């Protein structure tokens, strides 16, 4: 009966518009939720099989929600060094456990460091690949190599001296056999600072040698902390510029560090052959000649404690230490999908892969179509409150109209019943 069909259709409209209003309400409620993707109501007409050219049977309407997961939200700068956002395609891979957990995906990059040192957001741990100090992934960029990012993997730092650059003038007016000393600081692989004395000996016209005493602790110069070996033969040109060193490059080796550090091999940069940018040999002009050391610059760093963690461009997680050293410790992975809109949404901005979305393909930031990761930024919600208010008014009007249809059908039923009495 057509009145029954009209009533059924109106009731379906009330249900559909009610669900649409629920979606609008969720969108407005999440207008400030990081990484939130607006859900749109999609209406579909229902057509009954009994409709034909001479009669019409009401079908009604159904509604479903569609979240445009691929819509890009604006990136907003923050003051949190571990906030992170993706500009472009892709998701952060997160796990519900620090080891062996289920991998899910999110655009919500509001991560903080928990008490155990992990980057976490609502119980979801950010996944990445371990790197060397220069940011190069250790191993390969694969799912099997992913691990929960734990900033405590490098809670302390210290690096051995491997290169020392020396600029000094050795006096040409020194007598053969004269010796002079200077010192330089050397760090072992455990970050311990040591002092090493260098003895400069004039061995002949335009020739010198440099020998190295066993290193001692900077706090106790009486006790050797290792065994140094290596003597450098140095020759100069008649214009005072460096002619050669033997061996080349000049090298000093320290073995048997008493604190258990690894053996050290230190390359000495004594200048460019034929130039005066390192060692030189000019007259001192002094009654008692002396070696004038202009500078001694060494790499290596003392022991330091982790002081801060930050995420830079391209998703590299950097650790900064009290000794001033900053090193890369992880690289954040970006997960891309064949059909991102096919992902299954869960609470807290988490998505799960489905048959429709396909499996995740893991990329580094900006590679193979993956978006670029930016640190100290968050992706804003894609909800436009103005358009949501407009949709709310439309839903309200449609709901009121459907209610009016029900009222009208009720009156028509009353008329029909009265006519049949």
Q: Identify the pLDDT of residue 415.
A: 86
In sequence order, the 6+-apart residues with CB closer than 8 A to the CB of 292 are 168, 169, 171, 284
Domains of the chain (ranges, CATH numbers): 2-68+382-420 (no CATH), 75-157+305-379 (no CATH), 161-299 (2.60.98.20)
DSSP string covering 45-56? E---TT--SS--
Q: What is the pLDDT along the chain (421 residues), one digit of tens a residue?
A: 578 878 888 888 888 888 989 999 999 999 999 999 998 888 888 766 665 666 776 778 888 888 889 999 999 999 999 999 999 999 999 999 999 899 999 999 999 999 999 999 999 999 999 998 888 999 999 999 999 999 988 877 788 999 999 999 999 999 999 999 999 999 999 889 999 999 999 999 999 999 999 999 988 888 999 999 999 999 999 999 999 999 999 999 999 999 999 999 999 999 999 999 999 999 998 999 999 999 999 988 888 888 999 998 789 999 998 888 888 999 999 999 999 999 999 999 999 999 999 999 999 999 999 999 999 999 999 999 999 999 999 989 988 988 898 888 888 888 888 888 7
Beta bridge partners of 326: 320
Contact 35, 71 (CB under 8 A): no
Cα–Cα separations (whole angstroms), residue 106 to 8, 83, 247, 339, 343: 40, 13, 57, 15, 11
State phi, psi for 101 to the nearest 5 degrees. -85, 180
- pLDDT at position 17, please? 87
Buried b (16+ CB within 10 A) or exposed e, 228-256: bebebebbbbeebbbbebeeeebebebee
Closest CA to 37 of 392, 409, 340: 340
Rounded CA separation 14/27 (Å):
20
Residue 361: its pLDDT value, please? 95
The pLDDT assigned to 16 comes to 86
- Closest by CA to 172, choosing from 271, 241, 73, is 241
- What is the 8-class DSSP label of residue 240? S
pLDDT tens for each residue of 317-332: 999 988 888 889 999 9
Q: Measure the CA–CA gap between 353 and 345, rounded to whole angstroms.
A: 9
The pLDDT value recorded for residue 411 is 87
Q: Which long-range contacts (CB under 8 A, 24 or more apart) does 336-344 make?
A: 336/89, 336/90, 336/91, 336/360, 336/361, 336/363, 336/368, 336/369, 336/370, 337/91, 337/361, 340/69, 340/70, 340/89, 340/91, 341/66, 341/67, 341/68, 341/69, 341/70, 343/69, 343/105
- The pLDDT assigned to 43 comes to 85
287: DSSP letter:
S
Q: How many CB atoms lie within 10 A of CB 331?
A: 23
Assigned token pair, 29: 């409620």
**SS3 at position 215:** coil
Note the pLDDT of residue 313. Answer: 79
With CA atoms as reference, report the closest residue to 241 among 266, 265, 269, 272: 272
Identify the pLDDT of residue 98: 93
Q: How far, in whole angstroms, is CA 184 from its chain's centroid? A: 37
Residue 46 is predicted with a pLDDT of 73
Dihedral pair phi/psi, residue 87, rounded to 5°: -100, 105
Q: CA torsion sign, 411 to 417 to 420 to 421?
A: negative
């Amino acid at each position: 009966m057509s009145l029954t069909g009209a009533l059924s259709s109106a009731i379906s409209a009330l249900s559909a518009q009610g669900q649409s209003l629920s979606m609008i309400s969720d969108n407005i409620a999440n207008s400030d939720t990081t990484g939130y993707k607006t859900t749109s109501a999609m209406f579909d007409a229902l057509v009954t099989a009994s409709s034909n050219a001479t009669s019409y049977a009401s079908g009604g309407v159904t509604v479903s929600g569609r979240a445009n997961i691929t819509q890009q939200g604006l990136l907003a700068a923050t003051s949190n060094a571990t906030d992170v956002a993706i500009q472009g395609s892709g998701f952060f891979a997160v796990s519900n456990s620090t080891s062996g957990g289920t991998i899910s995906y999110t655009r919500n990059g509001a991560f903080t460091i928990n008490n155990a040192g992990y980057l976490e957001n609502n119980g979801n741990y950010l996944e990445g690949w371990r790197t060397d100090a220069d940011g190069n992934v250790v191993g390969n960029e694969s799912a099997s190599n992913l691990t929960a990012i734990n900033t405590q993997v490098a809670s302390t730092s210290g690096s051995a001296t491997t290169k020392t650059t020396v600029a000094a003038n050795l006096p040409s007016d020194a007598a053969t056999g004269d010796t002079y000393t200077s010192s330089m600081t050397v760090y072992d692989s455990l970050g311990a600072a040591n002092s090493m004395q260098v003895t400069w000996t004039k061995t002949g016209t335009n020739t010198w040698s440099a020998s190295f005493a066993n290193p001692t602790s900077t706090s106790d110069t009486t006790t050797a902390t290792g065994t140094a070996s290596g003597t450098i033969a140095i020759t100069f040109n008649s214009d005072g510029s460096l002619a050669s060193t033997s061996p080349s490059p000049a090298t000093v080796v320290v073995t048997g560090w008493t604190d258990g550090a690894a053996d050290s091999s230190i390359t000495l940069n004594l200048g460019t052959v034929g130039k005066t940018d390192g060692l030189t040999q000019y007259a001192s002009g002094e009654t008692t000649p002396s070696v004038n050391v202009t500078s001694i610059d060494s790499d290596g760093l003392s022991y330091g404690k982790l002081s801060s963690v930050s995420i830079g461009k391209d998703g590299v997680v950097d650790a900064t230490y009290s000794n001033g050293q900053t090193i890369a410790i992880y690289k954040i992975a970006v997960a891309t999908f064949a059909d991102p809109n096919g992902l299954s949404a869960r609470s807290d901005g988490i998505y799960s892969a489905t048959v429709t979305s396909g499996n995740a393909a893991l990329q580094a930031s900006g590679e193979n179509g993956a978006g670029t990761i930016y640190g100290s930024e968050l992706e804003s919600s894609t909800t436009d409150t103005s358009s949501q208010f407009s949709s709310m008014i439309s839903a309200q009007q449609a709901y009121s109209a459907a209610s009016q249809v029900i009222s009208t059908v009720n009156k028509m039923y009353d008329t029909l019943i009265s006519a049949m009495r």
